[in-house]
Amino acid sequence: MDTIPELANLKPAMLDAGTVFSGKPSGIKVRGYATASAYTPAIDKDFMFHDGCRDVIVWLLNPAEPLYVYGPVGCSKTTTIKQLAARLNYPVFEVTGHGRLEFADLAGHFTVQHGNMAYEYGPLALAMRYGGLLLFNEIDLTSPEVAAGLNSVLDGSPLCISENGGELIRPHPMFRFAATANTNGGGDDTGLFQGVQRQNAAFLDRFTLCEMGYPDADVETSLLAKRFPALPPGLCEKMVSYANEVRNLFMGTATTDAISNSIEITFSTRSLLRWGELALRYQPLARQGIQPITFALDRALAFRASRETRAMLHELARRVFPQEAMHNASDTQAQETMSGQTAIDYVRQRLASGSTAAYACIFR
Ligand SMILES: Nc1ncnc2c1ncn2[C@@H]1O[C@H](COP(=O)(O)OP(=O)(O)OP(=O)(O)O)[C@@H](O)[C@H]1O
Ligand SMILES: [Mg+2]
């Protein structure tokens, strides 16, 4: 395959980690590239680095073993790695695991080019050859046989492409390998992550592990406010505390034992941002007497839930967000009939009593 000049001409550089990640010089150096390329992810200026990013930054600071980041749905595993890479001008080659992924999808395969057969490198070969970051998302969906085929590459050995006359691709010193997944590779016993496969122990043993959770409430609140400046700040706070309560109920960490694991869906940062956007989009519905927050909640999350869970989510929302919340932020507190913790306690009591019939009126 022809050389890709844009990648071949990239100049490695030692960058100041503080300047790159937070804007303040730190004296700590991190390897990156002097300039971005077409393969470098675009910088999202609104991306907020949070505690969960720390492990990934430490990993980038030290030329290290492959990294395996796992954590709940939509907590920013993929985005964090891409945004950190973007600030280091790293070319990123992304691949998503699935049950039918084959090794050739990573290494490369023959294609017809200008009437002739030519070998085309896959993302792994490109990242190894040019010193890029291979970002392997949902790696736990990959069949363990295929994943274990990466073992020698993960050890730092060259990639041997037998189909291409035994071409040997030696790993560039800047080559990095990062994987993301919803499980730690040990399989899924919740039944929520259909398609996840228990991975080979020797394969998993080659990674530095990092667990990532949802960003803290203050980070998510600022994130909502930054992305959607038209949302009143008090409302952003409430939406985040609502999302956190849903997460607690999902994780079974709610205070009443009887409602442990009582709901089957959780609130990802992704869904939270969608909720913010939809809440603004549906704001005109308030004039017709429809609560935009609840209407948006259905479309952002609750339609995915069982009937009982959806009823519970509505009941909680009805009490946390008064009808006029979007109209006049300063009136919000006064108009609440039941706020924050009181509303949550109320719903917990209803769940603990096992009564869901009371919520039937919520479905119109
Ligand atoms: N700290 C943050 N700053 C800005 N945006 C964020 C932040 N955290 C999450 N997001 C947004 O949340 C969404 C979900 O992030 P992402 O896709 O990286 O999550 P994930 O953990 O990889 O999800 P999955 O489990 O589905 O793979 C993205 O649209 C991202 O832009
Ligand atoms: Mg992801």
Closest ligand 1 atom, CA of 50? 1
Which candidate, 108, 72, 39, places its Cα nearest to that of 180? 72
Q: Which domain holds residue 65?
A: 5-211
Distance 273 CA to ligand 1 centre (A): 9
The CB of 309 under 6 Å from ligand 1? The reply is no
The CB of 192 under 6 Å from ligand 1? The reply is no
Distance 206 CA to ligand 2 centre (A): 21
Are 94 and 176 in the same domain? Answer: yes
Q: Which of 269, 271, 273, 277 is the best mutation target for the ligand 1 pocket, counting ligand atoms within 8 Å of the beta carbon and taking the most?
A: 269
The CB of 40 under 6 Å from ligand 1? The reply is no
Distance 62 CA to ligand 1 centre (A): 24
Q: Residue 204: how many CA atoms within 13 Å on its side-chain side?
A: 20
What pLDDT shows up at residue 320?
80
Residues 6+ apart with CB under 8 A from 103: 146, 149
Are 125 and 144 in the same domain? Answer: yes
What pLDDT shows up at residue 342?
63
User: pLDDT grade, residue 353 (50/70/90)?
Assistant: low
Whether residue 146 is predicted with pLDDT greater than 50 in this model: the reply is yes
Are 168 and 231 in the same domain? Answer: no
- The two three-digit tokens of residue 280, written as one number: 């603004």
Are 20 and 161 in the same domain? Answer: yes
The CB of 282 under 6 Å from ligand 1? The reply is no
Distance 176 CA to ligand 2 centre (A): 17
Q: Residue 107: how many CA atoms within 13 Å on its side-chain side?
A: 22
For residue range 193-218, list pLDDT tens digits in order: 999 999 999 999 999 999 999 999 99
The CB of 269 under 6 Å from ligand 1? The reply is yes
CB-count burial class (<10 Å; 0-12, 13-18, 19+) for 136: buried
Number of the ligand closest to the Cα of 94: 2
Would strands 116-121 and 108-113 be described as parallel, antiparallel, or unpaired? antiparallel
Q: Residue 60: how many CA atoms within 13 Å on its side-chain side?
A: 31
For residue range 159-177, list pLDDT tens digits in order: 999 989 999 999 999 999 9
User: pLDDT grade, residue 251 (50/70/90)?
Assistant: confident
Give CA separation, 281 vs 50, 57, 152, 229, 296, in Å. Answer: 28, 36, 50, 13, 8
Are 156 and 194 in the same domain? Answer: yes
The CB of 136 under 6 Å from ligand 1? The reply is no
Listed residues 184, 211, 238: the one ending a domain: 211
Whether residue 185 is predicted with pLDDT greater than 60 in this model: the reply is yes
User: pTM of the entire structure?
Assistant: 0.86
Q: Do residues 122 and 109 touch, judged by C-beta distance below 8 A? A: yes
Are 73 and 190 in the same domain? Answer: yes
Distance 219 CA to ligand 1 centre (A): 13
The CB of 222 under 6 Å from ligand 1? The reply is no
The CB of 182 under 6 Å from ligand 1? The reply is yes
Are 330 and 258 in the same domain? Answer: yes
What pLDDT shows up at residue 357?
37
The CB of 79 under 6 Å from ligand 1? The reply is yes
Closest ligand 1 atom, CA of 49? 1
Listed residues 211, 229, 255: the one ending a domain: 211
Listed residues 156, 184, 211: the one ending a domain: 211
Are 134 and 37 in the same domain? Answer: yes
Q: How many CB atoms lie within 10 A of CB 13?
A: 14
Distance 199 CA to ligand 2 centre (A): 18
The total domain count for the chain is 2
For residue range 73-103, list pLDDT tens digits in order: 999 999 999 999 999 999 999 999 999 999 9
Q: Do residues 136 and 97 touch, judged by C-beta distance below 8 A? A: yes
